[in-house]
Amino acid sequence: MMWKYIRRYLPYAILAGAFMIGEVSMDLIQPGIMSQIVDDGVLGLNSGGAGNMNLIWKLGLQMICLVLFGGLCGSLNNVFVHMSGQNIGNDMRKDCFRKIMTFSFTQIDRFGTGSLVTRMTNDITQVQNFISQFVRGMIRTTMLTFGSMYCMFRLNRAFGYVVMCVFPLIIAVMAVCMKKAGSLFAKLQMQLDTVNSIMQEDVAGIRVIKACVREIYEKLRFGKANNELIKTQLRVLIIFAFMNPIVNALMYFATAAILLVGNVSVSAGRTTPGNIMAALPTPLSCSTVF
């Protein structure tokens, strides 16, 4: 069913994915250049301890060009992601409206006005946001995760093992949070339907409510439904509020472990200071993805 909407704007999604690959590739290339700048340009490890200013300028300009190209790719990715997601949402909303207009009074009463309003607004917005996040987030997350681990192993095997040990813990934290929040989403959807139904009934019957002096009752009814919705939303937000600090703590732990392992490796001559500097941004960039 979704495919008939996706295929209309599939070229936009493919272009968005291609530009995201370009952006992430630029992010993965830069740490290696930083390692060369530190080892060969600043410390001169391969030239008897003599720095090379020309090499620093050359590699620095390369990094600036990569950053600009990555920024261009990121901007174009956002353009095509939103073009695909918004157009898909627009088509779905039009088809849903046409379908609702064919319902009989019995069907409308069975589904409920508030539920139909939620389907037309919030649900379709969630679908188009999911499509945008899938095109942008899945490619970025996959490339940064496996690309970063590959780059870490290229720099130093010990660094790669550190990151490989941390990733399962991050996935476990995310799985626990999603499991706890998942059961609340269905409840949240029902409460949102209730709020929309009450709001629609009050707006449609405002004259009757005022004529019968029922304002206080309707305020209490709406307030009760709204408070239940807020409580459920807060429970969901609290669960996700704990996820980000835990993930960041794990990645900072990985950074500290890399520094510790790197100190031993430099002393033993198995790695260079440039490799350590190149490895440090990797866990932090991955934490922003998760």
Residue 150 lies in a domain: no
Mean pLDDT computed over 42-53: 76
Query: 230 and 265 in one domain?
Result: yes
The C-alpha atoms of residue 265 and residue 155 are separated, in whole angstroms, by: 12
From the list 94, 77, 175, 82, the residue with the least C-alpha distance to 131 is 82
Is the pLDDT score of 289 beyond 60? Answer: no
pLDDT in tens, 95-140: 888 888 888 888 877 877 777 777 787 778 888 888 888 877 778 8
**SS3 per residue for 99-147:** HHHCCCHHHHHHHCHHHHHHHHHHHHHHHHHHHHHHHHHHHHHHHHHHH
Is the pLDDT score of 45 beyond 80? Answer: no
Mean pLDDT computed over 40-51: 76
Which percentage of the chain shows pLDDT scores above 70? 96
Query: 71 and 17 in one domain?
Result: yes
Final residue in a domain of this structure, among 92, 110, 140: 140
From the list 263, 254, 261, the residue with the least C-alpha distance to 286 is 254
Strand blocks (E) in the chain: none
Q: What's the domain count of the chain?
A: 2
CB 197 within 8 A of CB 113: yes
CA 237, chain centre distance (Å):
15
Query: 165 and 32 in one domain?
Result: no
pLDDT in tens, 141-197: 788 778 878 878 887 788 888 888 888 888 888 888 888 887 788 788 788 888 888
Query: 195 and 75 in one domain?
Result: no
pLDDT at 282: 61
Query: 179 and 108 in one domain?
Result: no
Query: 184 and 127 in one domain?
Result: no
Residue 147 lies in a domain: no
The C-alpha atoms of residue 23 and residue 148 are separated, in whole angstroms, by: 14
pLDDT at 285: 57
Is the pLDDT score of 69 beyond 90? Answer: yes
pLDDT band at 288 (very low <50, low <70, confident <90, very high): low
Final residue in a domain of this structure, among 105, 140, 175: 140
Query: 260 and 186 in one domain?
Result: yes
Residue 148 lies in a domain: no
CB 46 within 8 A of CB 89: no
Final residue in a domain of this structure, among 81, 114, 140: 140
More confident residue, 108 or 230: 230
Query: 114 and 33 in one domain?
Result: yes
Which percentage of the chain shows pLDDT scores above 90? 6
Query: 207 and 99 in one domain?
Result: no
Q: What is the amino acid identity at position 125?
A: T
Which CATH number covers residue 272?
1.20.1560.10
The C-alpha atoms of residue 161 and residue 152 are separated, in whole angstroms, by: 9
> In terms of residue numbers, what domain contains 51?
1-140
The C-alpha atoms of residue 232 and residue 183 are separated, in whole angstroms, by: 11
Query: 118 and 200 in one domain?
Result: no
Residue 72 lies in a domain: yes
Residue 113 lies in a domain: yes
Query: 21 and 99 in one domain?
Result: yes
- DSSP secondary structure letters along 204-219: HTHHHHHHTT-HHHHH
Is the pLDDT score of 51 beyond 60? Answer: yes
Residue 151 lies in a domain: no
Cβ-based neighbours of 86, under 8 Å, separated by 6 or more: 128
Cβ-based neighbours of 200, under 8 Å, separated by 6 or more: 113, 114, 117
Mean pLDDT across the chain, nearest whole number?
A: 83
pLDDT band at 283 (very low <50, low <70, confident <90, very high): low
Residue 146 lies in a domain: no
CB 37 within 8 A of CB 55: yes
The C-alpha atoms of residue 165 and residue 172 are separated, in whole angstroms, by: 12
Query: 37 and 134 in one domain?
Result: yes
Helix (H) or strand (E) holding 7: none
Residue 1 lies in a domain: yes
